[in-house]
Structures are given as C-alpha cells and as structure tokens.
Amino acid sequence: AKAGDEEIQPNFSYSLMDYFLKYFMFLCNLLFTVLGLIVLTLGVWGLNTKESFAQENIGTIGTDPMLILFSLGFLLTLLCLTGCVGALREYCCLLKVFSATVLVLITAQVLLAIVVYSVRDQIAGYLRSGMLAAMANYQDDPDVRFITDEIQFSLQCCGADNYRDWGVNIYYNCSAPGVLACGVPATCCINPLENGTVWNSQCGVGAQLLDEFTAQSVIFLGGCLGGITHWINQHEGLIGTVGTIVVGVEILAVFITTRLLESIHWHKTHQLHRVINTAV
C-alpha cells in the first residue's frame, strides 16, 4: 500500500517561474550589495582621509557629509544582503524582514514626496537659508566649500541671489582685514584660469565693490538659487521618472518576495504532508 501511495503521490517541486524569481531576486540583491559595499568603502575612506574620528574632530562628525555616505552604504549593504541570503537559502524570516523594510522605505518616500509637494512654495526660502549658511561656513568646512564651489562652477552663478551675498562670510565681508575682503571665491569668476592653465584663486578679489556693469566681465552676476530652480524645472521630468522607477523597483521587490514566500510555504507544507502520508 505504501508503494502504491508513493506512486500516485505527486512531486511537489518548484515551477520554473519560482526558480526564476528566486535567482532573479538573489542576483539583483547581490548586485546592490556590491553597490552598497562600494558606497560604504567610499564613506569609510572619506572619514578616514579627513581624520573625522580624531579626538579633535569627533564632535563635528554628526554633520560630516561622509557620514551620510557611510550610513547609506551600510544600510543598503545590510538590506540587500538580507534579501540575498533570504532568497538563496529560503529563510522566510530574512525575506519577511527584507519585505517589511522595503515597505517602510516606500511609505517614507511617498510621505516625503507629499511633504515636499505641500511645502513647494517654501522650498526657495529653505534653499536660500541653506545656501547663505553654507557661504558663511565656506572657509571653515572643506565639504561645504567643495559643494558650494561645484554648484557655482557648474551652474555659472555666484552667491544665493547675487554676488554681493558673499558679504555674509567673515572673510569676504568688506569689514574683514584680509586680502579676501569684498571679494568672492574663484568659482564665481568667468575665467578663473590665468593664461588658460593656472588656477587664479585671486580673480574675485574686490568683486563686491564693482557695479554690475563692470562686474559682468569678471564674475557671474546671477545667483545660484535661480540656477538651481532653472535646473530643477529643466529636469523635473527626469527627476519624476527616476523617482517612479525607484518606487516601482521597490514595489516589484516586495511582490517577488511575497510570491517567493508563498512558494516556499506551499512547497514546505506539501512536502510535510508527503512525509506524513508516506509514514502512515
């Protein structure tokens, strides 16, 4: 009777689709795990290069942009490694943690989008405050200086609203005693290269004293807020597409994880029934 039962007992194995979803999820998470490790390594390298863990710098590590890079890399690696191992080894607990975390991320992104949309009229004010704060700390924080220089150089702008905004910086303020007084950074200059090859860090000296007609031949007159707003308006379609794709990929990950969990549960349940029926 047992032999007969075994002959008619169906073989409950995974379908090709289940195998595809399992290894597709494994490979995708493996790829993003490697990406997370790269970001994590860059964050560690940045923190180490800047000696952020030194005793004299440890107090300001919370505002270090490299810490953000480190945290993102760590969280991405941990999350994707959870999905990777969970899919390959069919650990339901890891897959559930992965799915729940991705759902939280989706919810947070949707809420963030709603908040940004609801305060869209105040964003310009926040950007202006942030830009002025960055300009005030321009000489004291190398990360702030790098980001500010990149914005001004890339968007060909100077200051928040105009070049005279650099008066908020104690070194560029006209009451300052140094050579930088009443000047602007070299990234404000139309031609910061002397003889086309050597970076001229003094090209913006005294620029705040110039009227707009004279200054326009030396520095960029337009503020960076207008440049940032123009860039966002110009690329809003791309930004929306990227955001939609990211959320879509996350929803797909949750769907695949749910399907994989159902398949694992179904397979293990029927496998258990088969063992019980065989033993009876």
pLDDT tens per residue across span 266-276 = 877 766 667 77
What whole-number distance in Å separates Cα of residue 28 and Cα of residue 260? 14
Q: Measure CA 12 to chain center.
A: 44
Q: Are 95 and 104 in contact (CB under 8 A)?
A: no
Task: Please report the pLDDT score of residue 253 as a whole number.
Answer: 93
pLDDT tens per residue across span 7-29 = 334 444 567 888 888 899 999 99
What whole-number distance in Å separates Cα of residue 171 and Cα of residue 179? 9
Q: Distance of CA 211 to CAs 18, 21, 26, 103, 218, Å? A: 70, 65, 62, 55, 11
Task: Please report the pLDDT score of residue 158 as a whole number.
Answer: 96
Average pLDDT over residues 104-113: 94
pLDDT at 1 over 70: no
Q: How many CB atoms lie within 10 A of CB 92?
A: 13
